[in-house]
Structure 1
Amino acid sequence: MKSTFIKQLSLIGLIFMISCSSSTTPFQQNISIGSTNTIVSKIDSIIASKMNVYNIPGISIGIVRSDSIFYTRGYGLKSIVEKDTISENTVFHTASISKLLTAQMIMQLVANNKLRLNDRLIDIIPNLKYTNEQVKFITIKSLLNHTSGLPDINNYHWGNQNREKNSLKGYVLSTKLKLRHTPSTKYNYSNLGYDILGYVIEEVTKQSFESVIQHYVLNPYKMKSSSFNYFSIPNSKTTHPHSKWFDNSIYIRKVYPYTREHAPSSTLNASSKDLSYWMLNILRDLDTKSELKQMIIPSFKDYKNIGLGFQLYNLNDKRAIGHFGGDKGFRSFLLMLPEHQTGIVLLANCDYNEDFRQDIVAAIVTLLLD
């Protein structure tokens, strides 16, 4: 990708040249067409305003309500240079939203008696390297809820763009595991822990992480544009990563954040439409699948905001579940309110320090539910 920048990209004009189509799937039946049109217009206004305030190149959103897709749309540009517009089918790097699908797959294995939450990691991967004997007490559950004691990753080496089949295995088995604390005693967010969970999936199924997720999650959930393998997605569907210089001018990053060993924690590439299908399926199944129920309740007594994969929130005094995501050039936020059968996903092709994600999503939640 070419590296370039512009001075204070103004998005006011861009909002009116966006190419984006709203979903044609059924709206929530108890909302009149007139009311729906008013809500949609207000959503568009919220996003247009926030994009201008934060100087955001491009956003895509998906909203589900009461068992159907309510609205999906893209706003702005894939690239500040090429000027291609974003739609609901444009694919973004979703960063840590990836962890939700990795956790979901682990819980499917638990439901099928292929794994147990209390299984020790060392029993599944006996040839791990480690510096502390307490690594032997890391469990599947402690990896899922970030209480394993493993540190986070300091450098993802995105520039490697590794595509090798055994790169996840090589990464996990060559990393000498250190601990920040005794397993299952504290909460400390760890991307490394989720990459290891991806290798657990490989060890249990004897298939690659990507193929397992494709077969058991992406395909059944109609996520046709999505993949954990960036290089399998046509360039025409993807968007470019953007950042800001110190003077607030915007530039396109040279490197897209992908390397195969970090797929389980970070490299789901998906569209807002695909993630809307995912949210629909999760919301439908929460009451009937015990493995999903376990994912959305507090799982650690000293930190009530983590389930098994899902982050747990209180948004506008409403119980919510989901996950934030952020890597170089991208930000994302997926949020669901189970009691209201509502879900929102926001994907953006910029990595600004200002947390525009929560600002936008909170405003939409207020509009929809208050």
Structure 2
Amino acid sequence: MHKKIKILSAVLVFWIALFIAWEWWYSFPKVRVIPVSEVNSKSLGIDSILHQAMSTYLLPGISVAIVKNDEVFYLNAFGYKNLLTKDSLTVESAIVVASVSKLFTALGLANTLNTKGISTHDPVSSLELKGKVSASSLAKLRFQDLLTHQSGVRDKNFSEMIFSSSKSQVLKEWGAEFLQNSSTYHTDSISYNYADSNYDLLGYLISQSENHDFHALIENSVLASSGMTNSKFVTAWPIEDNGITGYQKTFLWKRIEPKRISFPILPSPSSGLITTTKDMSIAITHLLRGQTGAFGKALGWLTIDGSKVPLGFQKTQIEGREWVGHYGGQAGYSSLLFYSKEAETGIFLFSNSRDKEDFRIEIARQIISYISPK
């Protein structure tokens, strides 16, 4: 027995040593950036904040867009989109914004249903889709229920994900399967339960209603019409020549290692938008313009009962003001987009690093405090 314990202990030590060696070999030291030697403008001051953040949070790359008083106030990027190739991250690099995608799915839904005379209070059955949609419990759900994650719809749990196929499903196939098993993934609960499936289902429904591919539908009704010509919901991943790699902190060392994203659904209405920091500055400009911007009609459709927060948008407090927008975080990618009509300011922030320390909002707070001191 004593000999067996020794053998098992030796095997365990060997595997631990192997793990440590593997993690060290495939990880990267923190990115070192040249600090700003002298701050004599607001732009250089923001540069300094971002340089410090990269060092503090071990960020491989970071990009920021700020719109203030209807003008692009700041637009810059630092670090790398891929540490292996040392390709620089720029404001025109293709980036993964994860759940910030939901804002654009919501805007696309609004444009589509508004032209049909359908409101947020109407049920899914108002789309008059035949087959399993009308026969399922989902038919009674209101669009606002899905937009606000109060639909009783849930995502697959951990055990279900383990036994499901690792390959990405086409949205049309996912939707058909979801409807077939709607009793499994839907309850009568009206409590808040954040689930990507709410938005994936909305994307599936409008694509079926319009008999049009979801990615093309959103591109035509939201992205191209607003000038976001370098943004799209991807239908294949990884995309050719993309080069963007996500990272996370290693388990033991003060280093970072690759953490790439995989999309279970393509295109993914909940998280599949690939865009650029420059395009997101355009989006913020339209959001701040409200009714006079390219998203005006859609925002009007999404804003109900006198609320200041459109359906599908989250809210947060920054420097004593309420800001609306959305957080994005998946695998080794983190982002946020928030704007304040009161402050006439909007900010977009992206990093190809997993955020376990709330660095997104902390950096945003530092920047907003710096450019708009009380």
TM-fit CA distance, 1:134: 5.1
The residue that corresponds to 1:275 in the other structure is 280
Q: Which amino acid aligns with 1:348?
A: S
Correspondence 1:111-130 to 2 at 5 A: 111-122=114-125, 124=127, 125-128=129-132
Q: Which has the larger radius of gyration?
A: 2
How far apart, CA to CA, are the structure 2 residues paired with 1:258 and 1:147?
Answer: 24
TM-fit CA distance, 1:310: 0.5
How far apart, CA to CA, are the structure 1 residues paired with 2:173 and 2:188?
Answer: 28
Does the 8 Å CA contact 2:263/2:272 hold for their aligned counterparts? yes
Does the 8 Å CA contact 1:158/1:256 hold for their aligned counterparts? no
Does the 8 Å CA contact 1:63/1:276 hold for their aligned counterparts? yes
The residue that corresponds to 1:339 in the other structure is 342
TM-fit CA distance, 1:136: 4.2
Does the 8 Å CA contact 1:150/1:177 hold for their aligned counterparts? no
Mark the CA change 1:176 to 1:331 in structure 2 (over 3 Å): closer, same or farther. Answer: same
How far apart, CA to CA, are the structure 2 residues paired with 1:177 and 1:61?
Answer: 42
TM-fit CA distance, 1:187: 1.6
The residue that corresponds to 1:98 in the other structure is 101
The residue that corresponds to 1:160 in the other structure is 167
The DSSP-based 3-state class of the residue aligned with 1:42 is helix
Count of residues in Structure 1 that have an aligned counterpart in Structure 2 = 340
Is 1:78 equivalent to 2:85 in the alignment? no
Is 1:323 equivalent to 2:326 in the alignment? yes
TM-fit CA distance, 1:210: 0.2
The residue that corresponds to 1:245 in the other structure is 250
The DSSP-based 3-state class of the residue aligned with 2:233 is coil
Larger helix proportion of the pair: 2
1:194-229 superposed Cα distances (whole Å, 9 cap, x missing partner): 000001211222101100111111111221221111
Is 1:60 equivalent to 2:63 in the alignment? yes
The DSSP-based 3-state class of the residue aligned with 1:284 is helix
Percentage of matched positions with identical amino acids: 26
Correspondence 1:255-294 to 2 at 5 A: 255-261=260-266, 263-286=268-291, 289=296, 291-293=298-300
The DSSP-based 3-state class of the residue aligned with 1:186 is coil
TM-fit CA distance, 1:174: 4.1
TM-fit CA distance, 1:322: 0.5
Q: Which amino acid aligns with 2:66?
A: I
How far apart, CA to CA, are the structure 2 residues paired with 1:70 and 1:290?
Answer: 26
Deviates more, 1:355-364 or 1:169-178: 169-178
Which of 351, 354, 357 lines up with 2:357 in the alignment?
Answer: 354
Which of 20, 26, 34 lines up with 1:5 in the alignment?
Answer: 26
The residue that corresponds to 2:20 in the other structure is none
Does the 8 Å CA contact 1:129/1:175 hold for their aligned counterparts? no
Is 1:224 equivalent to 2:229 in the alignment? yes
Does the 8 Å CA contact 1:167/1:261 hold for their aligned counterparts? no
Mark the CA change 1:235 to 1:348 in structure 2 (over 3 Å): closer, same or farther. Answer: farther
The DSSP-based 3-state class of the residue aligned with 1:343 is strand
- Which consecutive unaligned segments of at least 5 residues does structure 2 have? 1-22
1:99-136 superposed Cα distances (whole Å, 9 cap, x missing partner): 000101111123323532223224544544799x7544
Does the 8 Å CA contact 1:298/1:305 hold for their aligned counterparts? no
TM-fit CA distance, 1:295: 3.5
TM-fit CA distance, 1:328: 0.9
Is 1:150 equivalent to 2:153 in the alignment? yes
Deviates more, 1:287-296 or 1:315-324: 287-296
Does the 8 Å CA contact 1:128/1:172 hold for their aligned counterparts? no
Mark the CA change 1:120 to 1:234 in structure 2 (over 3 Å): closer, same or farther. Answer: closer
The residue that corresponds to 2:302 in the other structure is 295
Which of 179, 182, 191 lines up with 1:186 in the alignment?
Answer: 191
Does the 8 Å CA contact 1:130/1:177 hold for their aligned counterparts? no
The DSSP-based 3-state class of the residue aligned with 2:339 is strand
1:172-192 superposed Cα distances (whole Å, 9 cap, x missing partner): 434434467535x32221210
How far apart, CA to CA, are the structure 1 residues paired with 2:368 and 2:263?
Answer: 32
Q: Which amino acid aligns with 1:160?
A: K
How far apart, CA to CA, are the structure 1 residues paired with 2:273 and 2:166?
Answer: 17
The residue that corresponds to 1:201 in the other structure is 206
- Which consecutive unaligned segments of at least 5 residues does structure 1 have? 18-34
Mark the CA change 1:154 to 1:126 in structure 2 (over 3 Å): closer, same or farther. Answer: farther
The residue that corresponds to 1:176 in the other structure is 182
